[in-house]
Amino acid sequence: MTIKVVYFARYRELLGTDGEVLVGAFACIEDVRQALLDKGERYAVLAEKNLMCARNQDLCKPDEALEDGDEVAFFPPVTGG
Protein backbone atom coordinates (compact mmCIF):
# COMPACT_ATOMS: atom_id res chain seq x y z
CA MET A 1 0.00 0.00 0.00
CA THR A 2 1.25 3.47 -0.88
CA ILE A 3 0.18 6.43 1.27
CA LYS A 4 1.01 10.08 0.65
CA VAL A 5 1.60 11.89 3.95
CA VAL A 6 1.43 15.68 4.19
CA TYR A 7 2.33 17.92 7.13
CA PHE A 8 0.93 21.33 7.93
CA ALA A 9 1.81 24.32 10.11
CA ARG A 10 4.28 23.66 12.93
CA TYR A 11 4.66 19.99 11.95
CA ARG A 12 5.91 20.96 8.51
CA GLU A 13 8.39 23.37 10.05
CA LEU A 14 9.68 20.92 12.67
CA LEU A 15 9.98 18.02 10.22
CA GLY A 16 11.57 20.17 7.53
CA THR A 17 9.32 18.83 4.79
CA ASP A 18 5.78 19.27 3.55
CA GLY A 19 5.29 15.55 3.01
CA GLU A 20 6.53 12.14 2.00
CA VAL A 21 5.35 8.82 0.59
CA LEU A 22 5.17 5.67 2.72
CA VAL A 23 4.90 2.12 1.46
CA GLY A 24 3.70 -0.59 3.80
CA ALA A 25 0.72 -2.32 5.34
CA PHE A 26 -1.44 0.33 6.99
CA ALA A 27 -4.96 -0.49 8.20
CA CYS A 28 -5.65 2.99 9.56
CA ILE A 29 -4.13 6.44 10.08
CA GLU A 30 -2.81 5.43 13.50
CA ASP A 31 -0.69 2.76 11.78
CA VAL A 32 0.84 5.47 9.57
CA ARG A 33 1.53 7.69 12.58
CA GLN A 34 3.15 4.80 14.43
CA ALA A 35 5.34 3.94 11.42
CA LEU A 36 6.52 7.55 11.34
CA LEU A 37 7.23 7.58 15.08
CA ASP A 38 9.28 4.41 14.61
CA LYS A 39 11.51 6.28 12.14
CA GLY A 40 13.15 8.19 14.98
CA GLU A 41 13.26 11.20 17.26
CA ARG A 42 12.68 13.65 14.42
CA TYR A 43 9.05 12.47 14.26
CA ALA A 44 8.38 12.72 18.03
CA VAL A 45 6.16 15.76 17.43
CA LEU A 46 3.58 13.37 15.93
CA ALA A 47 3.16 11.78 19.39
CA GLU A 48 1.18 14.80 20.60
CA LYS A 49 -2.17 13.83 22.14
CA ASN A 50 -4.21 16.48 20.31
CA LEU A 51 -2.79 15.75 16.87
CA MET A 52 -5.37 16.28 14.14
CA CYS A 53 -5.57 14.24 10.97
CA ALA A 54 -7.39 14.04 7.67
CA ARG A 55 -7.88 11.38 5.03
CA ASN A 56 -8.18 12.66 1.47
CA GLN A 57 -8.78 16.18 2.81
CA ASP A 58 -11.61 15.18 5.19
CA LEU A 59 -11.06 15.53 8.93
CA CYS A 60 -11.19 12.20 10.69
CA LYS A 61 -10.00 10.24 13.71
CA PRO A 62 -6.78 8.19 13.84
CA ASP A 63 -8.74 4.94 13.55
CA GLU A 64 -9.97 5.92 10.04
CA ALA A 65 -9.44 3.01 7.64
CA LEU A 66 -7.09 3.54 4.70
CA GLU A 67 -6.98 2.40 1.09
CA ASP A 68 -4.06 2.27 -1.31
CA GLY A 69 -3.29 5.73 -2.70
CA ASP A 70 -4.91 7.70 0.13
CA GLU A 71 -3.52 11.01 1.32
CA VAL A 72 -3.07 11.42 5.07
CA ALA A 73 -2.53 14.85 6.58
CA PHE A 74 -1.27 15.65 10.07
CA PHE A 75 -1.58 19.07 11.69
CA PRO A 76 -1.61 20.58 15.16
CA PRO A 77 -4.88 21.52 16.87
CA VAL A 78 -6.46 24.68 15.53
CA THR A 79 -7.76 27.28 17.92
CA GLY A 80 -9.92 30.24 17.18
CA GLY A 81 -10.86 33.31 19.02
Q: What is the pLDDT of residues 29-52, one digit of tens each?
A: 999 999 999 999 999 999 998 899
Predicted local confidence at residue 80, as pLDDT: 56
CA dihedral 12, 33, 6, 81 (to 10 degrees): -60
Q: Is the pLDDT of residue 26 over 60?
A: yes
The rounded Cα 81 to chain-centroid distance in angstroms is 26
Alpha-carbon distance of 12 to 67, in angstroms, equals 24
What is the residue extent of each domain of the chain? 2-75
Does 3.50.50.60 match the CATH number of domain 2-75? Answer: no
Q: Contact, 74 vs 33, CB < 8 A?
A: yes
Q: Is 37 in a helix, a strand, or coil?
A: helix
Q: pTM of the full predicted structure?
A: 0.91
